[in-house]
Structure 1
Amino acid sequence: MAREGGEVTATGPAVKPLRILILGGTGFIGPHQVAYALSRGHTVTLFNRGKTNPGLFPTVEKLIGDRNAPDGYKALEGRTWDVVIDNPVQVPRWVREAGAVLAPNVGKYVFVSTLSTYKTRAKIGMTEADVEMLNPPSAPDATEKDASYGERKVRGEMDAKATFGEGKTLIVRPGLIVGPGDLTDRFSYWPIRVEQGGEMLAPGTPDDPVAFVDQRDLTEFIVRLCEQDATGTYNVVGPRAGLSMSEMLYGCKAVTTSDTRFTWVDTDFLLERKLRPYADLPVWMPPRGNSAGWARMDISKAVAAGLTFRPLAETARDTLTYYHAQSPERQAALKAGLAPDREKTVLAEWHARVGR
């Protein structure tokens, strides 16, 4: 399938089939990753608790274990794999505990980290070499009560290198991960709200940059990096040519038949009303101060290694399809974005401010 910039996503069998262990594999980013790896001819084993989507991939080997339980990794003992991909790490000690069992018996460890490990994104065009990272938590069992998500991922990166060795460690730092299957609604809010039509609050200016990565582009890239025997660290976010807030919103509108009208509301006006960028107004972050380069990371290393991007229209359309397949209760309870009444109130206040 063609991708942005004329690249073509690798299809068909890989040159060298791999034995891949995926820790997780049935949540948000796992299913497409598994399906893509299988399509490339790799042998996949899944390790998880067996509670999330247990019916997926009936022909794939599944090992059961709870990473929070004593002897939680027992099912992995004595086994060997070419690659282990660790998708769901929330607690740094999971890396060390997995390594105690796996490090002697695997060729490569892939740690899915985050761009939130960077202490600041004030610089436009930050590369993987811009290593001003957040301070890692000192507590070996740090949880979300002890440290931020980014801080825990910093500790996870450090522990991965220390446990598996830098020569066997691949670190992928994605930005906001979006697409069908997302349960956070951080991107989904926008195509869903656009589809509903009417006057819609658009934050900041039309030229404010935004960035994200479709989970399918991310997971395919990880598999291809494994095929290349890559190590090191990669920033993974897109799209390749950059995207503005207006381009994203009009791109979402293009896959609907809605009559949506966008009203652009000044950043300071929104902040005065304590509307939170990236939460009440997800994806969007005002490009100023420590966030000037938030949506303008350097991804040239990943692109050179084969990162590709599907069109925005595909991501938006598939996100809407996934949303409409959910229960009415789930559709009515978005986890991000403005509530309708709050949006109407802010729009009314904005019109009163600007006199129209």
Structure 2
Amino acid sequence: MELWNKRDLAPPVMVTFKCKTKKRKEEILALTSCVSSALQYFQSQQSFEKAGAYLSRFITRWRNRFYNMHGFRLLRKLNQALLRVRSIDIVRMLTNIMSTLPSSYLDKTVELPNRAVLEYLLIRMQGLGKLFCRIIVVAKEAARYYIRYISTGNFFNLSSMFLCLLAEIWFKSRDICQRIAHFYDELVPMRSLLVDDGKEWPSESGVLLPEKFALWLGDDWTEEVLAKECEIDMLSLQPDMDLFVLLTGETEDLSSNQKVDDQVSKKANTKESTVNRSIPKTLLMDRLKSDTGETVQRQPKKPKKETKPDWSAVTQLKSKFDCKQFLDQEKLNRKENLPLALTRKAKAQTFNSFATKMKREISRMSTKDYVTMFKEELKPLVYGKK
């Protein structure tokens, strides 16, 4: 297995060596500038991390509904690649190297890290570039799938949302891959500046680092979004046709309500004409006769009579215990069966205020005064007026 493909590759021990700056100032400053630029760039990728987080949330939200859909499986593959990119903490590696490099002002003698640390960073950049190539390819396949779904009008809103997210991930991944290639090509010649401590890392075979990162990586990340010819493709895609032309070109697109209605009516007319050919002519003529002269008499619906509340249950209240039982039963009726409640016209806030007040006054007032006040306060809630 290649070194860049090992997920648990152990980093080397960081050792610093003294280096005289005479005749090497430009090389040292170039190394510091390159590492600093790479660190600032990777620290500013919050928008890409946000897009990856949205993709993870979408997969969790619609996992049960679209589990067996091919396009959704592509999204899960894309999410897995993004998780592996997150596991390669390139910012931490650059921060560790940056902490050992001198500032813009150079003394006669400065301390630089050993060569193995830089080689470990370059190997991790190789693995990161391969992962971003994987992300670009999978995002392109998933986008092609959801483009076909949008053209047929199926799950239009979800497909559009997934397509926008895939486009953002694809675009930013290409930019990141390009910048990785740029930083890699700048850092490879600087290996001669650093001292090799003589320890064999990571193996006796040594480290194989290509001089040109773009040639080693391949053409997957440089290819544009082109449609591929497919025999079972319902859109009959032409080779070398821009993928995004599918939404605006001459191909039949059901992305609007009007086109969907036209397609449905076209199918309905075709079906009706097929049925009409199988109907005898006499029955067809009877079917086409107008029946506008018929009048259908319908009984008007009688409005439901509103039943008056039964106040007799309130007149039977003689003690505080009766009032408390009545109030508990009223709360139960309002919660489970509102039409049975005597205070069904009262708002919840008004009834709660009444219940709180009665509960507070039950221990302060005498039985006669409490029952009288209970009935007077309850009457407006029952009849809806004061």
* Category of TM-score, reference length = shorter chain: under 0.3
TM-score by length of structure 2 reads 0.23
Bigger strand share: 1
TM-score by length of structure 1 reads 0.25
